[in-house]
Structure 1
């Protein structure tokens, strides 16, 4: 979605009308803190998932060749 310069100016004007010039910096800080916390939480979840994947990595087992596995034991 490409808003463009005109769209950004329109959004800022609407925000000024709704919240007033005194509340905008406070609102901006709140949005910034929220985004920072969200990003930290998302990174934490991704790191936890990566660690679980590393811990649950399958152990490689070498299978016997088919010729050897299909031989019968002597009677």
Structure 2
């Protein structure tokens, strides 16, 4: 069992030290508050990841739409051959 790079012997040592410092009555309260903090951090991390994915998908969609619109815009901005011959005959 390896959590955060800490093995079982290290976790046992940390538990014993915490038990000596805080006592058996305060230890469950500290564990609960630590669990709540980790859970809220995990929820915030998941929400951040979802937001990043959503933004990346929006950017991909807008790039695809822009790529589809650009060829049409180039077609409409080029002068037609008829217009060029009319200009040449006028001058």
Same fold (TM over 0.5): yes
What's the TM-score once normalised by structure 2's chain length? 0.60
The whole-number CA distance in structure 2 between the counterparts of 1:45 and 1:15 is 33
**Among 24, 29, 51, the residue aligned to 1:26:** 29
What's the TM-score once normalised by structure 1's chain length? 0.71
What residue in structure 2 maps to residue 54 of structure 1?
A: 57
What residue ranges of structure 2 are gaps of 5+ in the alignment?
72-80, 86-91
How many residue pairs align between the two structures?
68
What residue ranges of structure 1 are gaps of 5+ in the alignment?
64-72
What residue in structure 1 maps to residue 45 of structure 2?
A: 42
> Which protein has the bigger helix share?
2
Provide the alpha-carbon RMSD of the alignment: 2.4
